[in-house]
Structure 1
Amino acid sequence: MSQNCNYDTLLFLEYQNTTSTVVCLLIERNTQNYELAAKTCANNHTPTHATPWRHNPVPISTKERRLSYRLKRRQKAIMSSPNLSEEEESPSSGKHPTVGRNEGVTIPTPPTITSQVNPWQYLQSASNETIGGFPTPQLGQSVWYNIAQTLREKWPQKDGPKAWVHTFRAQHKENAQATVAKLQSLILRIIGEEVTDSLLISTPTAEEELYEWFPPPYHFLVSGIPQNTITRLTDMGTCSSPEATCFFVLYNQPLPRYICTLEHFTFPDAETSNLAITDIVKRTISADHSVSEFIHKNIPSPDAEAALKAINSIRVSSLNISVARNTTHTVWNVHVDSPPNLSLKDYFEWTSRIRNLLFISEDYGSATIRSEEHQFMCFGCKSFDHPTGLCPFPRIQGWFGPTASTSDDSSKASLNSCANHSAPSSKSNASPQGRGNGGRGRGR
């Protein structure tokens, strides 16, 4: 036998009568299955003529016979293993056989990203669409918040259509190269490579350093592309893909539907309670004439029913928040489905006036508004109407971003949400109170 054959791994010898070549089948065992690698060992004997095997048997040693028996015992495992590619078989390729192949296990196929205006195409292929599509993040502050003053002056002067984009769990970073690269690659896959040279993603610079978790600014400005491509991005709104998970926002930031969160009512958590609280909120707001007068003084065109339309569109929904591992309290979010036609600055002023009201029930006590450091703010989608642990996006089937918190993790869905705003080693309370282009401070 040839000295090149390794008897520790040799399982079978097949003698070919025409070439007298010994083919050594080697087996590599891994955690999932057996992978095959083949190499050829030349026999030193060269026959003078071809003779059928049955007439010229080659003597087989006892060790070879044992190895042949072992091969028969493992024949089923060998036959069920996939064949290696030539690249894997080649000793010079430097690549190892693929680990863990198992034809019995179905590996999901990654989604194919196309240029259609359909945000669900970016979820994993096995996902089912949620009724109504993705939820809309309820941003409680301006996208300009904490952006340097020089950029506030320069960016509006950029020619052409513009839009904003921020990633899931966004925060300001001094070095945003990786984020910009991912966003640029993703946007080009959505709108097409033909705008590669013109697409510009501008990075925000902070006006001041904020000592809090996931501090702003984190909205990037998208420009340099035609209006139809900007519209495609903003119509999509949310994109969950393997490359990045992000949210597109109109350059003229839309008004949020969220007004405030009520707590301390003793109502039971039921739909009838939501309707009763909705009635209390509407009556309380209507009784305060300054809230309605503010709308009529600041809308761009006169509308005698503007305040009435907004108040009538108010709705209330409950939210269960963890207090302890097995204890929850109910709070109620107040939304307006038809917000008044105000600027973003005036809208925040209008909701601030509502937050100063006192909401009282004859039988279920009075409610207070969650504000200041107790204001909810989701680290993921940046919404103000829920804490991080109750973010709806990671609960969508097929979501590519971080997974949802487990039921045991109540820290981010707690009534004591101060940790949602203050960093562990805060040097100062740097969250500004001002309005205007900067919008409201966090939780204000």
Structure 2
Amino acid sequence: MYEEVASPKFFLVVSGGNGAVMKTHGLIREAIGNYINIEPTAFTLGTPPTAANGSSSTLWLVADIPDPLAQAVVDARLLSSTNITIYTLPYDMPIIGFAGVFAGFTLPNTVMGANAARDLIGTAVQGNNEISQFVQTHRNAFGPQVSSGEAWGMFLASITVHGIALIVNDTNTVAWRLHVTPPTNNRDSWSQLRRLFGKLRIMTALHGTAQLQHAFRCRICPAIDHPTPLCPLPDLPGWLGPTPATIAALEDASRAAASKAQEQMRLNTADGAGGSNARSGAGRGQGSFDGKARRGGKAKRGGDFKGKGKRRERDDFA
């Protein structure tokens, strides 16, 4: 559904609103409208669904903002008002080269430990025919003038490893985050390459045996390279969103708010209520793109941070 939305568009990681979807809508609109000086109702805002287990996708989609203003919001990276923090991400996010986390080495979380882990992983990668052939075949990110052999050398040289301290079963341990320069710009091909890394089992005489562990899923941000307690976003200046200590309560509030909204939709539909509520309840919330008249990012005249227009009390993409 998001692919059908016209550009420019971008994503938000949103923290705030106390689990109330419509309140969060209003706070997002106020923060963006105030930053680029447009009416809070002048753009389209989509709401990520809340999963039954209380966790949800943290990516909200924004569209219908003129390109220069949309880029200004993305470039700001972090917007913060009294009650909400917004972290911006481009819609076409680049492949960042995070290959996974190796666990099992008995190495210290030091520079020497990281170098040793890098050498052990690099040697295993260099000796793996599947990875070698795949990189040499899927090398479009290196450019048309780079040969298969050169691409393989560049890929091996790009291997970097960073330690991450974890507590597993009440025991302090160190895992190793592996990054490489992606040889391909194709996300499906990149996913295949990551699966090949997952087949590696690196056995050593002195430092134990390591292999890729299941990806993390941070409940504060979309990242898969760290667990929730190590999320870096709460350490950003001006962050007002959840922390590892508060995320569970906010998830509970989000789940309760979503359940209440869904029940109200069901009742409205049963009573024959028309309008957007009835439509957005159909097709599992996958309604059509909002067809409102475009405001074109016209600057607001006067008005305070909260804006003057009536806020749209629904998901614009549903």
The aligned counterpart of 2:213 is: 370
Superposed CA offset, 1:204-224 (max 9, x none): 458xxx5545133x4222111
Matches within 5 A, 1:195-274: 196=40, 198-204=42-48, 211-216=52-57, 218-274=58-114
Q: How far is 1:233 from its partner?
A: 2.1
Matches within 5 A, 1:46-125: none
Find the aligned partners of 1:170 and 1:384 in 2 and give their Cα distance: 24
1:159 equivalent in alignment to 2:6: yes
Structure 1 contact 170–380 (Cα < 8 Å) conserved: no
Superposed CA offset, 1:199-252 (max 9, x none): 11123458xxx5545133x42221111111221222223334433222222111
Structure 1 contact 170–214 (Cα < 8 Å) conserved: no
Q: Which amino acid aligns with 2:43?
A: L
2:32 to 187, 208, 217: 187
Over the matched positions of the two proteins, sequence identity in percent amounts to 23
1:280 to 114, 120, 123: 120
Find the aligned partners of 2:17 and 2:187 in 1 and give their Cα distance: 22
TM-align CA RMSD: 3.0
2:115 is paired with a residue whose SS is: helix
Q: How far is 1:188 from its partner?
A: 1.2
Structure 1 contact 319–333 (Cα < 8 Å) conserved: yes
Find the aligned partners of 1:361 and 1:234 in 2 and give their Cα distance: 45
Find the aligned partners of 1:314 and 1:241 in 2 and give their Cα distance: 40
Task: Compare the two structures and name the one with the higher helix fraction.
Answer: 2
Find the aligned partners of 2:132 and 2:16 in 1 and give their Cα distance: 36
Find the aligned partners of 1:355 and 1:381 in 2 and give their Cα distance: 23
Q: Which amino acid aligns with 1:164?
A: F
The aligned counterpart of 1:332 is: 176
The aligned counterpart of 1:342 is: 185
**Unmatched 5+ stretches in structure 1:** 1-150, 412-422, 424-444
1:176 equivalent in alignment to 2:176: no
Structure 2 contact 163–174 (Cα < 8 Å) conserved: yes
Find the aligned partners of 1:272 and 1:388 in 2 and give their Cα distance: 27
Q: How far is 1:334 from its partner?
A: 1.2
1:320 to 134, 147, 165: 165
Q: How far is 1:197 from its partner?
A: 5.2
**Unmatched 5+ stretches in structure 2:** 249-254, 256-318
Find the aligned partners of 1:364 and 1:340 in 2 and give their Cα distance: 29
Structure 2 contact 99–194 (Cα < 8 Å) conserved: yes
Q: Which amino acid aligns with 2:113?
A: S
TM-score, with structure 2 as normaliser: 0.67
The aligned counterpart of 1:126 is: none
